[in-house]
Structure 1
Amino acid sequence: MTSITSGGGIQVKEDVYYYTDQIVNIGFIGHPNSDTWVLVDAGLPNAAPEIKSVVVDRFGRNSKPAAIILTHAHFDHVGGLYDLIQEWDVPVYAHELELPYLQGEKDYPKPDTNVEGGMLAKMSFLYPNEAIDLGASVQPLPTDQQVPFLDDWKWIHTPGHSPGHVSFYRESDGLLFSGDAVITVRQDSLHKVLLQQAEVNGPPRYFTTDWQAAWDSVRKLAELKPETIISGHGSAMNGEKLSKGLERLVNDFEKLAVPKHGKYVNKNNLH
């Protein structure tokens, strides 16, 4: 699986860049050639060599991040993580509710192939759901919502897609790394993923296990009125397309995001 944007990167701000690894985005926060920068998520399995290549181009040879921060621990966001920390020996931060999936204690629920949707949803039985074990390399994000090494950023708990999913927000310019809480492509549709058709969407259906929490998280992010979103899947988005898309998603979440059926769907409890 890949998309037309795979292997390319976009500089959204002078100190914010993201790179697309096939169908998932990896963030880099820090000025080019800076000694202090942070990696956001770690892509698909075997992504480490690609990530290191981007690092060389952006920050210089032998550079490494001050830390790696995770939106969540699904396989397509932690794929290169083990190899990276073996070489870099840097701390990894995630929400405390994600730690069991990062310390080998608990597997995620299996993907829901019963949700209606496109080919990627039907293929989701192939996607790994097993925990990885980073041991003491991973630790919880600070309880005060500060992001390590990034004084002007805060983390926001946005569960639903996973119990400890978080998003990262910088109020000074309204920049939001939304992870998979809000994405800008219809992730269950192979056609839309391949062409990266930009539209504001809820989280990927096949891996989301708590739809009420997912809706609440979308509301929480929309209330921030972000100027720009960099999501886990899809292209960065800003302006009226983003604001109108978020408003529509909040108001019509059940229709636009929630599957009509599936083992994690109980529409009677949604509000």
Structure 2
Amino acid sequence: MGKDKSEMHDGMENKFQPMFSIMSGMGIEVLPDIFCYTNQIVNICCVGNKDSDDWVLIDTGMPESSSKIIKVVEERFGVGSKPKAIILTHGHFDHVGAVVDLVEKWDIKVYAHELELPFLTGKESYPEPDGTVEGGLVAKMSPMFPNEPVDLANHVEALPSDGSVPQLPGWKWLHTPGHAPGHISLFRENDRTLIAGDAFVTVKQESLYKVMTQEVEVNGPPRYLTTDWQAAWDSVKKLEALHPEVAVTGHGQPLSGHELSEGLVRLVKEFDRIAIPDYGRFVDGEH
């Protein structure tokens, strides 16, 4: 007997990470239909109007966090509410932590870039996080972070190749690799809203002090898991060229206006100095 194709496996089970920022447990209504919730050190995003049945969840937070996420979304959308779909910006542990538990509860479809599917169907693990990378205490702790895949079996599908986003009319997805091979960001043209994932973040994610205090600075993707720095730079250029008015990132606080536009221009111009570490396995071409 072969394995049942519908049978999922949760590579994040019992992988709780005891890391928290001062924003942990807080939700921000960035726009009437964009709600950003900080799950320990990472942001998840609900797209859809409050008390509506028509909403989508972007990313699923840290391992062992499904009950917290369910409580938060039911407070916003009503008891028993569930999203129309889950969209994953990528498959790293802090973005898929609760995905298997949530899919089991809600019985909904998950969408991701086709290059992330091996990490979401149990076929391939990410490279181990780089604890030697220039940075701070979080970087040094990173070898403890799980890099195993989850297996969503037939509950996950590749995003449509035309750039449309299932269940999210008016949005398009953009391939923004570097931090992960199939990393995506989401953009809504009519109000220039960007959900960037980890293509760039608004906190220095390698520094434990800055992660905990959430000191705002537009920065490149978390260093300890970014494997292709040239692609990461190209992705930031692609996002800056959209001139977003508002951005929700995977780590740090949402930004808008001058703070966002000036931060992105500076990041694009000085990416090699600001974002790319001076040393580390992935900088030196090893994997």
- TM-score above 0.5, yes or no: yes
The interval holding the TM-score normalised by the smaller chain is over 0.9
Instruction: Report the Cα offset of residue 56 of structure 1.
Output: 1.0
1:201 aligns with 219
How far, CA to CA, are the matches of 1:244 and 1:55 in structure 2? 33
The structure 2 residue matched to 1:175, chosen from 176, 183, 193, is 193
Distance (whole Å) between structure 1 residues aligned to residue 191 and residue 47 of structure 2: 14
Q: Classify the secondary structure of the residue corresponding to 1:177.
A: strand
Q: Which amino acid aligns with 2:248?
A: I
Q: What CA distance in whole angstroms lies between the structure 1 residues aligned with 2:102 and 2:284?
A: 39
Equivalence map 1:90-239=2 (5 Å): 90-239=108-257
Deviation at 1:266, TM superposition (A): 4.2
Structure 2 unmatched ranges of 5 or more: 1-18
What is the CA–CA distance in structure 2 between the aligned matches of 1:135 and 1:22, rounded to whole Å?
27
Q: SS state of the match for residue 178, structure 1?
A: strand
1:80 to 80, 94, 98: 98
CA deviation vs aligned residue, 1:195-228 (integer Å, no higher than 9, x gap) = 1001100000000000000000000000001001
1:150-182 deviation line (CA, Å, top 9, x unaligned): 111000000000000000111111110000001
1:64-87 Cα offsets, whole Å, 9 max, x none, are 110000000000000010000001
Q: Report the Cα distance in structure 1 between the residues aligned to 2:250 and 2:149, rounded to whole angstroms.
A: 19
Partners of 1:31 and 1:53 lie apart in 2 by 17
Q: What is the distance in 1 between the residues matched to 2:195 and 2:239?
A: 10
Q: TM-score, normalization: structure 1?
A: 0.97
Aligned residues: 267
Dislocated runs of 4+, deviation >3 Å: none
Q: Offset at 1:113?
A: 1.0
What one-letter code is carried by the residue in structure 1 that aligns with 2:199? A
Q: Which AA in structure 2 matches 1:117?
A: G
**How far apart in 2 are the matches of 1:113 and 1:256?**
19
Matched, 1:50 2:77: no
Q: What SS does the corresponding residue of 1:147 show, helix, strand or coil?
A: coil
The residue type paired with residue 161 of structure 2 is T
CA–CA separation in structure 2 for the residues paired with 1:159 and 1:266? 18
1:11 equivalenced with 2:24 (yes/no):
no
Q: What RMSD, in angstroms, separates the aligned Cα atoms of the two structures?
A: 0.8
* Unpaired segments ≥5 residues, structure 1: none
- 2:59 corresponds in structure 1 to 41
Give the aligned residue type for 1:214: A
Report % sequence identity: 57
